[in-house]
């Protein structure tokens, strides 16, 4: 009797909650491409006062991406009722026990405690926000992705203006309609990576599997992303630092190949 093929690994079910007041619509393509790496976006909701013109950029893309708009009027001027509505819904979804993780899309530090609470329940929290996002919110997430990266990945370079705007056309772009700002490659934190390697190395040769290195870096710095330094993958970043790191390929027990890395020994 033929054995049954192994069942495919079940993907994580994620709830995606977007703060429309603190997230630009220009990220939408890259956002859901990124989320697809981590699981299935089972719930997609976006919160804001849809009677306001500043959310026009989001209105254009909601149907294309099956995002459910959640209306929240501003009851008091200067107070953000949207945050409270998102947090209440997040807790309601949490107690259904149907989700493996949450994607919180905002640059607002008001969601720091929400991220902590979700993680206390054993769920994975993915944060998405601009590089101006306060550090406490970034650190409260298991992984934090800066949306400038997503905008750069998804958007084509804007064409050079060739003519004056038509009469009556506003020259001020809404936050969701601004072209993607170029992401300037940051300096690779080689000293930090080297320290992590030293901390996790457990054999006499100091070799560490690349996946283990990436996992430990993410625990210490949720916002770490090779794309911030001009590389698509961690392996490419490591290869580009030959004076500091050694990289080698080994056969794995399953017939595949694994990458291992270690700090370069003095004199090599």
pLDDT of 2 > 50? The answer is: no
Q: Is the dihedral of CA 104, 108, 109, 114 positive or negative?
A: negative
**Which stretches within the chain are classed as H helix?**
28-35, 56-59, 81-94, 112-120, 135-140, 147-154, 190-200, 210-220, 234-239
Tell whether 163 is covered by a domain: no
Tell whether 23 is covered by a domain: yes
Tell whether 204 is covered by a domain: yes
Write the pLDDT tens digit of every residue in 38-91: 999 999 999 998 888 888 899 889 999 999 999 887 655 544 678 889 999 999
Residue 111 DSSP code: G
Write the pLDDT tens digit of every residue in 85-98: 999 999 999 999 99
**Total count of domains within the chain:** 2
pLDDT of 201 > 90? The answer is: no
Tell whether 268 is covered by a domain: no
What is the model's pTM? 0.80
Query: What residues make up the domain containing 92?
Result: 13-154
Q: Do residue 247 and residue 137 come from a single domain?
A: no
Return left, alpha or beta for 36; rule: phi > 0 is left, psi -120 to 50 is alpha, else beta: alpha
CATH classification of the domain holding 113: 3.40.50.1010
């Amino acid at each position: 009797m033929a054995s049954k093929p192994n069942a495919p690994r079940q993907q994580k079910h994620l709830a995606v909650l977007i703060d429309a007041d603190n997230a630009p619509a220009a990220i939408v393509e890259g956002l859901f491409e990124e989320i697809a790496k981590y699981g299935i976006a089972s719930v997609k909701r976006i919160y804001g006062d849809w009677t306001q013109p500043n959310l026009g950029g989001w209105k254009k893309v909601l149907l294309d991406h099956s995002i459910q708009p959640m209306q929240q009027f501003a009851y008091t001027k200067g107070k953000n009722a949207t945050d409270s509505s998102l947090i209440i819904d997040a807790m309601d979804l949490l107690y259904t026990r149907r989700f493996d993780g949450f994607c919180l899309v905002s640059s607002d530090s008001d969601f720091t405690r929400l991220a902590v609470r979700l993680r206390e329940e054993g769920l994975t929290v993915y944060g998405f926000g601009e590089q101006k996002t306060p550090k406490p919110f970034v650190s409260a997430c298991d992984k934090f992705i800066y949306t400038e990266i997503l905008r750069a990945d998804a958007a084509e370079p804007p064409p050079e203006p060739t003519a004056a705007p038509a009469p009556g056309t506003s020259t001020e772009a809404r936050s969701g309609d601004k072209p993607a700002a170029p992401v300037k490659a940051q300096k690779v934190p080689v000293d930090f990576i080297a320290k992590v390697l030293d901390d996790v190395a457990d054999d006499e040769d100091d070799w560490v599997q690349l996946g283990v290195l990436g996992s430990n870096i993410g625990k210490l710095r949720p916002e770490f992303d090779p794309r911030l330094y001009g590389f698509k993958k961690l392996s490419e970043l490591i290869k580009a630092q030959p004076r500091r790191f050694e990289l080698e390929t080994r056969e794995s027990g399953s017939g595949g190949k694994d990458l291992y890395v270690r700090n370069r020994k003095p004199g090599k």
